[in-house]
Structure 1
Amino acid sequence: MTSENPKKSQLYTRTGDRGESSLYNGERRLKTDRIFEALGSVDELNSSIGIAHHYCAKSANGLESQLIEIQCNLQDIGSNIATPRHDASETQLHNTTFDEGHVETLERWIDVLDSQLPPLRNFILPSGGESSIFLHQARSICRRAERTTIPVVEAQDADETVLKYLNRLSDYLFAAARYAAKHDGLQENVYKKAKSGREASVQTRAL
């Protein structure tokens, strides 16, 4: 359905057309600022967990509700990062505080998952089916989100609990990926050092 004179959508404001955007406290910064770099990484992480959630739901491995809770927490982390702690009102600080209890919840989930997995004796490659692979991908993005958030926390623009959560979240996603592979009955590929080019060449000639 189309309209000749549609009302202007609220999806675009045009205020960022010159490469700037606003933070929660009203401050405007360049979109290349470290805060927006961290926000972008956290947003990408959230999207990647959404993909993992889709495949976990398809396999009914029981991780779905945890992943949704994590996605909600990442939204709250974005609010925390977007509110420089040293230049925000008491109300803004209260509304965007990220509780350390979320870190403890992740640790409990990790303990439960890890208790059901075989001991880890090799480096694991991203593998083990769709749910597992996309959880591994989310883990990799989580590591980047953590790296981009470090300078924001160091500048006291975000709470340290945000950094703790992202660090623990990558551990959770690793355990969840292994658990998903086990649940689906699919094998995880392990790292094996590749032969050098010379060794491979000799072996090829011998064949």
Structure 2
Amino acid sequence: MKIYTKTGDKGTSSLYNGERLVKDDDVFEALGTSDELSSNIGLAMSYLEDQKSKVLVEQLLQIQCLLQDIGSNIATPRDRSNERKLQRTTFDEEGEHVAQLEKWIDEMDAELPRLTKFILPSGGKASASLHVSRSVCRRAERTVQILVRDQLCDNSVGIYLNRLSDYLFNAARTAAYQIGEPERIYTKPV
């Protein structure tokens, strides 16, 4: 199978349900941003592997897999896809994935120094790249909210991305803490 199909050369692409939309449709914006998020997480994982952060790498690998599931949900508009495809792409109906993120966040909170000031993205390459991932995650959440509002994807996708940005914040802090790299603190410029 060739990597290129030429079917998108006229400015459209197809969704999982077979529907073709223009490439700048909100659905493709959300898909592209969640893909960008996964790519940034992959970069962060490579830095975490360098600093031997096995637990964070394992968690992030699971998150990348869930981002693929999110992409499937986004690519299957809930209001115009058949029941079989809807069932195949339903995301986190029971909230288990969100609960897992919350558990990981709480575990990191228990180990991290108490946050008393605003921190700036810093703390070494792994930490800084996780902050980039957090920022991209916030954008992914904003693009998905348009689809959630229009009932084109599951509400749980938006909830997961919201909690994921919190997780990525704590993961960035944890990555810095693990190697003893100080986080830069915001100070008002004079």
Structures share a fold, TM > 0.5?
yes
- What code does the residue aligned with 2:65 have? C
| Alignment length (residue pairs) | 187
Write out per-residue CA displacement over residues 97-154 of structure 1, whole angstroms, 9 at most, x where no aligned residue: 1112111110000000111011111111011111101000100000000011110111
> Which of 20, 24, 47 is the equivalent residue of 1:28?
20
Write out per-residue CA displacement over residues 61-108 of structure 1, whole angstroms, 9 at most, x where no aligned residue: 231100000000000000000000011111101110111211111000
Distance 2:187 2:100 in 1: 34
Q: TM-score, normalised by structure 2?
A: 0.97
Write out per-residue CA displacement over residues 1-32 of structure 1, whole angstroms, 9 at most, x where no aligned residue: xxxxxxxx520111100110001111110001
Write out per-residue CA displacement over residues 25-80 of structure 1, whole angstroms, 9 at most, x where no aligned residue: 11110001000000010000000000000011111123110000000000000000
Distance 2:150 2:12 in 1: 20
Distance 1:145 1:98 in 2: 16
Distance 1:160 1:178 in 2: 28
Number of the residue aligned with 1:3: none
Number of the residue aligned with 1:70: 63
> Which of 167, 174, 189 is the equivalent residue of 1:172?
167
Listed as ranges, the gaps of 5+ residues in structure 2 are none
Q: What are the residue-to-residue correspondences of 1:46-195 with 2, within 5 Å?
A: 46-61=38-53, 62-99=55-92, 100-195=95-190
Distance 2:100 2:22 in 1: 35
Number of the residue aligned with 2:33: 41
Q: Which runs of 4+ in 1 moved over 2 A?
A: none
Write out per-residue CA displacement over residues 149-198 of structure 1, whole angstroms, 9 at most, x where no aligned residue: 11011111100000000000000000000011000111000000001xxx
Listed as ranges, the gaps of 5+ residues in structure 1 are 1-8, 196-207
Report which of the two structures shows the higher radius of gyration computed on alpha carbons. 1
Percent identity between the aligned chains? 57
CA RMSD of aligned residues (A): 0.7
Distance 1:46 1:180 in 2: 18
SS in 2 for 1:21: strand
Q: TM-score, normalised by structure 1?
A: 0.89
Distance 2:149 2:15 in 1: 18
SS in 2 for 1:13: coil
